[in-house]
Amino acid sequence: MLYWTLIFLVIALVAGLFGFGGIASASAGIAKVLFTIFLVLFVISLIFGLVRGV
**Tally of domains within the chain:** 1
User: Which residue in 11, 40, 37, 38 sits closest to 26, CA to CA?
Assistant: 11
By residue range, what is the domain housing residue 39?
Answer: 2-53
Q: Is the pTM of this model over 0.75?
A: no
Check: CB of residue 31 under 8 Å from CB of residue 5: yes
Q: How far apart are CA 44 and CA 25, in angstroms?
A: 29
How many residues make up the chain in this entry? 54
**Tens-of-pLDDT digits for all 54 residues of the chain?**
789 888 888 888 888 888 888 888 888 898 899 999 999 999 999 999 999 976
pLDDT for residue 40: 95
Q: Are 34 and 1 in contact (CB under 8 A)?
A: yes
